[in-house]
Protein backbone atom coordinates (compact mmCIF):
# COMPACT_ATOMS: atom_id res chain seq x y z
CA UNK A 1 0.00 0.00 0.00
CA UNK A 2 1.20 3.47 -0.84
CA UNK A 3 -0.18 6.63 0.69
CA UNK A 4 -0.06 9.24 -2.01
CA UNK A 5 -1.14 12.71 -2.97
CA UNK A 6 -4.23 12.96 -5.10
CA UNK A 7 -3.29 14.46 -8.43
CA UNK A 8 -3.47 13.90 -12.17
CA UNK A 9 -5.49 10.91 -13.30
CA UNK A 10 -6.14 9.86 -9.70
CA UNK A 11 -7.76 13.24 -9.03
CA UNK A 12 -9.93 12.82 -12.10
CA UNK A 13 -10.97 9.36 -10.91
CA UNK A 14 -11.69 10.57 -7.38
CA UNK A 15 -13.81 13.43 -8.67
CA UNK A 16 -15.79 10.98 -10.83
CA UNK A 17 -16.24 8.64 -7.84
CA UNK A 18 -17.54 11.54 -5.74
CA UNK A 19 -20.21 12.29 -8.37
CA UNK A 20 -21.07 8.60 -8.77
CA UNK A 21 -21.55 8.27 -5.00
CA UNK A 22 -24.29 10.90 -5.18
CA UNK A 23 -26.30 8.52 -7.39
CA UNK A 24 -26.18 5.62 -4.92
CA UNK A 25 -29.47 3.84 -4.24
CA UNK A 26 -29.02 2.66 -0.65
CA UNK A 27 -32.29 2.97 1.31
CA UNK A 28 -31.49 -0.13 3.40
CA UNK A 29 -27.88 0.38 4.48
CA UNK A 30 -27.76 4.18 4.09
CA UNK A 31 -24.14 3.59 3.10
CA UNK A 32 -23.40 5.21 -0.25
CA UNK A 33 -20.45 4.22 -2.41
CA UNK A 34 -19.08 5.58 -5.66
CA UNK A 35 -16.49 4.05 -7.93
CA UNK A 36 -14.69 5.27 -11.02
CA UNK A 37 -12.95 2.76 -13.27
CA UNK A 38 -10.07 3.73 -15.55
CA UNK A 39 -10.24 1.67 -18.72
CA UNK A 40 -7.14 0.88 -20.78
CA UNK A 41 -8.46 3.13 -23.58
CA UNK A 42 -8.33 6.08 -21.16
CA UNK A 43 -12.07 6.33 -20.61
CA UNK A 44 -13.64 6.43 -17.16
CA UNK A 45 -16.75 4.41 -16.29
CA UNK A 46 -18.49 5.07 -12.99
CA UNK A 47 -20.77 3.07 -10.75
CA UNK A 48 -22.67 3.40 -7.49
CA UNK A 49 -24.12 0.83 -5.14
CA UNK A 50 -27.67 -0.26 -5.94
CA UNK A 51 -29.67 -2.03 -3.23
CA UNK A 52 -33.04 -3.76 -3.19
CA UNK A 53 -35.49 -5.16 -0.64
CA UNK A 54 -34.12 -8.70 -0.99
CA UNK A 55 -30.61 -7.50 -0.08
CA UNK A 56 -29.25 -8.73 -3.42
CA UNK A 57 -27.24 -5.58 -3.72
CA UNK A 58 -24.76 -4.54 -6.34
CA UNK A 59 -21.59 -2.82 -5.19
CA UNK A 60 -20.33 0.33 -6.89
CA UNK A 61 -17.19 -1.42 -8.10
CA UNK A 62 -19.00 -4.32 -9.78
CA UNK A 63 -21.55 -1.87 -11.16
CA UNK A 64 -18.78 0.12 -12.85
CA UNK A 65 -17.06 -3.00 -14.18
CA UNK A 66 -20.35 -4.42 -15.49
CA UNK A 67 -21.17 -1.14 -17.23
CA UNK A 68 -17.73 -1.06 -18.84
CA UNK A 69 -17.90 -4.68 -19.99
CA UNK A 70 -21.35 -4.05 -21.45
CA UNK A 71 -19.78 -1.25 -23.49
CA UNK A 72 -17.15 -3.62 -24.90
CA UNK A 73 -14.31 -2.68 -22.56
CA UNK A 74 -12.32 -5.60 -21.16
CA UNK A 75 -9.10 -4.19 -19.73
CA UNK A 76 -8.78 -1.82 -16.79
CA UNK A 77 -5.94 -0.01 -15.10
CA UNK A 78 -7.33 1.45 -11.88
CA UNK A 79 -10.44 2.04 -9.82
CA UNK A 80 -11.13 4.78 -7.31
CA UNK A 81 -13.59 3.95 -4.53
CA UNK A 82 -15.13 6.14 -1.87
CA UNK A 83 -18.02 5.60 0.47
CA UNK A 84 -19.57 6.29 3.82
CA UNK A 85 -22.80 6.99 5.63
CA UNK A 86 -25.12 8.72 3.21
CA UNK A 87 -24.77 12.47 3.43
CA UNK A 88 -21.55 12.30 5.43
CA UNK A 89 -17.93 12.64 4.41
CA UNK A 90 -16.22 9.66 2.87
CA UNK A 91 -14.16 7.13 4.76
CA UNK A 92 -11.82 4.43 3.52
CA UNK A 93 -14.00 1.88 1.82
CA UNK A 94 -12.04 -1.13 0.59
CA UNK A 95 -13.75 -3.39 -1.99
CA UNK A 96 -15.54 -6.51 -0.72
CA UNK A 97 -14.31 -9.98 -1.62
CA UNK A 98 -16.79 -10.43 -4.47
CA UNK A 99 -15.64 -7.20 -6.12
CA UNK A 100 -11.98 -8.16 -5.73
CA UNK A 101 -12.66 -11.45 -7.52
CA UNK A 102 -14.46 -9.65 -10.37
CA UNK A 103 -11.52 -7.25 -10.68
CA UNK A 104 -9.20 -10.25 -11.00
CA UNK A 105 -11.22 -11.42 -13.99
CA UNK A 106 -10.39 -8.33 -16.02
CA UNK A 107 -7.21 -6.88 -14.53
CA UNK A 108 -3.54 -7.62 -14.15
CA UNK A 109 -3.40 -8.05 -10.36
CA UNK A 110 0.11 -6.72 -9.87
CA UNK A 111 -0.56 -3.60 -11.94
CA UNK A 112 -4.21 -2.76 -11.26
CA UNK A 113 -4.48 0.11 -8.76
CA UNK A 114 -7.24 0.35 -6.17
CA UNK A 115 -7.37 3.94 -4.95
CA UNK A 116 -9.18 4.58 -1.67
CA UNK A 117 -10.14 8.03 -0.53
CA UNK A 118 -11.48 9.47 2.72
CA UNK A 119 -11.97 13.15 1.94
CA UNK A 120 -8.44 14.05 3.06
CA UNK A 121 -5.72 15.28 0.73
CA UNK A 122 -4.14 11.87 0.39
CA UNK A 123 -5.32 8.50 -0.82
CA UNK A 124 -4.27 4.91 -0.19
CA UNK A 125 -3.21 3.00 -3.26
CA UNK A 126 -3.16 -0.80 -3.31
CA UNK A 127 -2.45 -3.25 -6.09
CA UNK A 128 -5.11 -5.89 -6.59
CA UNK A 129 -2.52 -8.55 -5.76
CA UNK A 130 -2.08 -6.91 -2.35
CA UNK A 131 -5.82 -7.07 -1.62
CA UNK A 132 -6.46 -10.43 -3.27
CA UNK A 133 -3.37 -12.64 -3.18
CA UNK A 134 -3.76 -16.10 -4.67
CA UNK A 135 -7.07 -15.28 -6.35
CA UNK A 136 -9.11 -18.05 -7.91
CA UNK A 137 -8.17 -18.25 -11.59
CA UNK A 138 -10.47 -21.00 -12.80
CA UNK A 139 -9.55 -24.18 -14.59
Contact residues: Zn ion, CB under 5 A: 59, 96, 99
Task: Based on DSSP, count helices (H) and strands (E) in the chain, helices before strands.
Answer: 4, 6
CB of 133 to Zn ion, least distance (A): 18
Residue number, 66 or 129, with CB nearest to Zn ion: 66
**Cα distance between residue 34 and residue 64, in whole Å:** 9
Q: What is the phi/psi pair of residue 2, to 5°?
A: -120, 135
CB of 57 to Zn ion, least distance (A): 9
Residue number, 27 or 94, with CB nearest to Zn ion: 94
Task: Return the beta strands (E) in the chain as ranges.
Answer: 2-5, 31-39, 44-48, 76-85, 113-117, 122-127
Residue number, 16 or 99, with CB nearest to Zn ion: 99
Which residue in the shown chain puts its C-beta closest to Zn ion? 59
Q: How far is CA 41 from the centre of its chain?
A: 18
CB of 131 to Zn ion, least distance (A): 12
Residue of 107, 84, 97, 105 lying closest to 132 (CA atoms): 97
Active site residue 130: no
Residue number, 59 or 65, with CB nearest to Zn ion: 59
CB of 33 to Zn ion, least distance (A): 8
Given the residues 5, 22, 51, 61, select the one marked as catalytic. Answer: 61
Are 127 and 112 in contact, with CB atoms under 8 Å apart? Answer: yes
Kindly list the catalytic residues: 61
Amino acid sequence: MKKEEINGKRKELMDAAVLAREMAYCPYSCFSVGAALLCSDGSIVTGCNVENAAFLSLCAERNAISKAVSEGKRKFEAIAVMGGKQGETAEYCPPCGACRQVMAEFCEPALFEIILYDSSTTCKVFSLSELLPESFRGL
